[in-house]
Amino acid sequence: MSSNGVLIDRAKIDCSVLVGKRIKINAEQFPGQVLTTRIMSTGGNNLVLDKSGSDGKISQLIQKQNANVQFEYKGQAIAFTSTIVITDGGRVLIPMAESLNPMVRRKFVRFDMEKTIRLTYFDERNIKTTRLNKLKWFETTIANIGGGGILAFMPSMLADDNFILMNMNMDNLEFPPLILGRVCHSHRNNKKKIVTGIEFITREISGKIIPSSLIRNLPEAIFQFNNGTVRYLTKYLEENNRNNIE
């Protein structure tokens, strides 16, 4: 991951949308380790961390050590360097730097495409008590698509621990009947519509992303989507875009 060279002013960040989001921390105290937790709340320019994250290592962080920090803001990975603050009450804070560094991360080119798809969503907690065939499916429209995922219009904000089941029915393209994805970001665009970035989960990485307790409840059909499908989809989108330009 590298910087694109353009800094973001801290004052332009809407901190309210950060609450509940994942945050990654490389602290001096734990060299070579990436600690992950969630932002519990914000106050002033401070991010208040969930101390239970990374098997409790967040609660072990020591005052006044340097840390490299990353989180997602409206679909963009943001990074900055800060100093850990421990309050008298034991809260773990990370003050946001005045200038934040947007990171270049997207692996797949996205192509504009308006298409109706069917989907449903769930998280690890409610799927244990709800059958997949009882989930509520609905139709929505995608704004763009790439080999790695889609941007879809949604009726409400979704937390980034939600999984998405999709039926995309791509025209003139042999495609798995079901695709599993996960929410990367959810926010309002400049037209005040809610858009959600969804990353496709391939068979090859599913074991690293999907909790084992959840895999048992998922249909085998979703594991038809693999790295070969990603290459096939990417080639199709590139050729389709080239033909439209010509």
Per-residue three-class SS string for 162-184: CEEEEECCCCCCCCCCCEEEEEE
pLDDT tens-digit readout, 122-174: 876 666 555 667 788 999 999 999 999 999 999 988 877 789 999 988 777 78
Give the model's pLDDT for residue 2.
41
Both tokens of residue 132? Answer: 């997949």
User: Mean of the pLDDT values across residues 185-214?
Assistant: 84
Q: What angle do CA 43, 49, 51 make, to 5 degrees?
A: 140
Same domain, 57 and 170: no
Mean pLDDT value across the chain:
85
The answer, yes or no, to whether residue 120 has pLDDT greater than 90, is yes
User: Mean of the pLDDT values across residues 100-129?
Assistant: 77
Give the model's pLDDT for residue 122.
86
pLDDT tens-digit readout, 31-68: 878 899 999 999 889 999 999 999 899 999 999 999 98
Same domain, 159 and 212: yes
Domain boundary among 104, 130, 161: 104
Report yes or no: 7 and 99 within 8 Å, Cβ to Cβ. yes
Same domain, 13 and 116: no
User: Mean of the pLDDT values across residues 107-115?
Assistant: 81
Handedness of CA 80, 83, 88, 91 (dihedral sign): positive
Give the model's pLDDT for residue 90.
94
Q: Which domain holds residue 75?
A: 2-104
Give the model's pLDDT for residue 126.
62
Same domain, 148 and 232: yes
Same domain, 154 and 36: no
Same domain, 99 and 117: no
Listed in sequence order, the residues at least 6 apart from 213 whose beta carbon sits closer than 8 Å to its beta carbon are 124, 128
Domain boundary among 104, 128, 158: 104
The answer, yes or no, to whether residue 8 has pLDDT greater than 90, is no
**Where does the pLDDT of residue 1 fall: very low under 50, low under 70, confident under 90, or very high at 90 and above?**
very low
DSSP labels, the chain = -EE-S--EEGGG--GGGGTT-EEEEEETTSTT--EEEEEEEEETTEEEE-TTTGGGGGGGPPTT-EEEEEEEETTEEEEEEEE-EE-TT--EEEEPPSEEEEEE---S--EEEEEEEEEEEE-HHHHTTS-GGGSPPEEEEEEEEETTEEEEE-SS---TT-EEEEE---TTS---S-EEEEEEEEEE-TTS-EEEEEEE--HHHHHHHS-HHHHTTS-GGGGG--HHHHHHHHHHHHHHHHHHH-
Give the model's pLDDT for residue 52.
93
The number of folded domains in the chain is 2
Listed in sequence order, the residues at least 6 apart from 69 whose beta carbon sits closer than 8 Å to its beta carbon are 23, 24, 25, 26, 79, 80, 81, 82, 94
Read off the CATH number of the domain in which 143 is found: 2.40.10
Same domain, 118 and 65: no
Listed in sequence order, the residues at least 6 apart from 188 whose beta carbon sits closer than 8 Å to its beta carbon are 194, 195
pTM tops 0.95, yes or no: no
The answer, yes or no, to whether residue 69 has pLDDT greater than 80, is yes
pLDDT tens-digit readout, 193-207: 888 889 999 999 988
